[in-house]
Amino acid sequence: MAIPDYQSIMLPLLRFAKDEKEHSLREATDILSSEFNLSQTEKEELLTSGRKPIFYDRVGWAKTYLGQAKILESTRRGFFKITERGVNLLNQNPQTVNDKTLQQFSEFRDFISRKSKKPLKAVEKTIVENNDQTLNTPEESLETAYQTIRVNLATEILETVKSCTPNFFERLVVELLVRMGYGGTLQDAGKAVGKSGDGGIDGIIKEDRLGLDVIYLQAKRWEGNVSRPEIQKFAGALLGNQARKGVFITTSDFTKEARDYVKTISSNIILINGEELAELMIDYNVGVSVATTYEIKKIDSDYFSEE
């Protein structure tokens, strides 16, 4: 039979995980390839890039989409298990599970909205009416695919960062700012981390290579949102050091009160939440590497000019 698409894999993958135990993506791929009666040739057929088998890639995307709907959850890199929501969905004995099914969950709708960069209602209408098969130009389809991969990567980055130690997270923050052009060298910038002795400051980094000004850092590897008192504490630490600029980075988010507060004070404090952190890490190549490069070419009209 033909290699199934990722939506056709969703329900079998969910049933595979119904024992509520931890499983690897490789194990799931092996079991499902037998369930779909794939030939050895089909199992080994590679993507155009030649980097991985098509079926393995599609099982991975099925897991990703189920994960975005909080039906499956990652336990560690390459491993996953079913959630209580997934068990409840299976108990409803669905005949199929696809993108349209997942639209009932707000987390999945948010994911679709982010990856497509379209208004949420328009995205929902597209999926419901066309079962996620949009009539885009090749360029638009490529852009949508790119955004999907990027959003998934950002989610994976954030999950990985949250599992790191606080010390590693602080070093990551400094490396990111250096990649962004602050701090001079990584060696110089890293010396200041954790040595300020102030409870409201995790590190100090140069704003430029000459050190004409400094930026104070606070890095919180949290699950809960950062509230106004934490920002007030940081602002007080800046004031105590006669500093004017600070960056507060968290793996979670900030409350509305915290964001409103920074608008009312004289210190210039930039707030970066987990989603923004992951996007910056992708943009400045921190913790990521290039997997595949595609070149989009067009005809060179000058070459064919006979004038």
- Confirm whether 173 is domain-assigned: yes
CB burial of residue 221 (10 Å; 0-12, 13-18, 19+): buried
- Does 274 lie in the same domain as 175? yes
Q: What is the model's pLDDT at position 197?
A: 46
CATH number of the domain at 103, please: 1.10.10
- Does 170 lie in the same domain as 131? no
- Confirm whether 178 is domain-assigned: yes
- Confirm whether 116 is domain-assigned: yes
Which of 91, 118, 135 finishes a domain? Answer: 135
CATH number of the domain at 230, please: 3.40.1350.10
Alpha-carbon gap, residue 163 to 157, rounded angstroms: 10
Length of the chain: 307
Of 13-27, 72-86, 130-144, give the lowest mean pLDDT range: 130-144
- Does 95 lie in the same domain as 19? yes
- Confirm whether 144 is domain-assigned: no
- Confirm whether 143 is domain-assigned: no
For the chain, what percent of residues have pLDDT higher than 90?
51
Which of 135, 157, 184 finishes a domain? Answer: 135
Q: Is residue 63 predicted with pLDDT exceeding 90?
A: yes
Alpha-carbon gap, residue 118 to 293, rounded angstroms: 25
pLDDT tens-digit series, residues 189-198: 655 555 444 4
- Confirm whether 307 is domain-assigned: no
- Confirm whether 37 is domain-assigned: yes
- Does 14 lie in the same domain as 98? yes
Q: What is the model's pLDDT at position 119?
A: 40
Q: What is the model's pLDDT at position 136?
A: 65
- Does 129 lie in the same domain as 16? yes
Q: Is residue 166 predicted with pLDDT exceeding 90?
A: no
Q: What is the model's pLDDT at position 193?
A: 52
What is the chain's Cα-based Rg? 23
What mean pLDDT comes out for the span 112-130? 51
Domain span at residue 214 reads: 166-283
- Does 81 lie in the same domain as 31? yes
Q: Is residue 200 predicted with pLDDT exceeding 60?
A: no
Q: Is residue 128 predicted with pLDDT exceeding 80?
A: no
Parallel, antiparallel or unpaired: strands 268-272 and 245-250: parallel
Which of 115, 135, 155 finishes a domain? Answer: 135
Alpha-carbon gap, residue 257 to 100, rounded angstroms: 36
Q: Is residue 203 predicted with pLDDT exceeding 90?
A: no
- Does 180 lie in the same domain as 119? no
- Does 130 lie in the same domain as 12? yes
- Does 131 lie in the same domain as 18? yes
In the chain, the number of structural domains is 2
Average pLDDT, the chain: 85
- Does 202 lie in the same domain as 111? no
Number of H helices, E strands in the chain: 14, 7
- Confirm whether 293 is domain-assigned: no
- Does 183 lie in the same domain as 269? yes
Q: Could you tell me which of 83, 76, 71 has the C-alpha nearest to residue 11?
A: 71
- Does 215 lie in the same domain as 105? no
Residue 132 — pLDDT band, cuts 50, 70, 90? Answer: very low
